[in-house]
Amino acid sequence: MTDYDQRHGGPYDRGSANSYYGIYDPHFWPAGTGKGYRIGKGGMTPSELEAYEAGWIENETTGDRKSYA
């Protein structure tokens, strides 16, 4: 198992959060969520995309989802 950087705003964190909200949109924030600038899928390296996907999958396996009810 790969040990991904889980800092707030990083690719793994954003993948996990996006899964929670049900929005698949690979991106991350180098300076932290909502700070500085956002890097989208086109600007992400293969390892950053892998980390995003891993965060997404990790959260999907837990079934942790936002309830909009």
1 in any annotated domain: no
| Total domains in the fold of the chain | 1
Could you tell me the pTM of the whole model? 0.93
Structural domain includes residue 54 = yes
Structure tokens, 19: 């899964």
* CA count, 13 A, side-chain hemisphere, 41: 5
Whether 45 is in a domain gets the answer: yes
Q: Tell me which residue range forms the domain holding 42.
A: 11-62
pLDDT tens per residue, the chain (69 residues)?
689 999 999 999 999 999 999 999 999 999 999 999 999 999 999 999 999 999 999 999 999 999 988
Q: Is residue 5 part of a domain?
A: no
C-alpha–C-alpha distance, residues 55 and 46, integer Å: 14
Tokens of 10: 């990083």
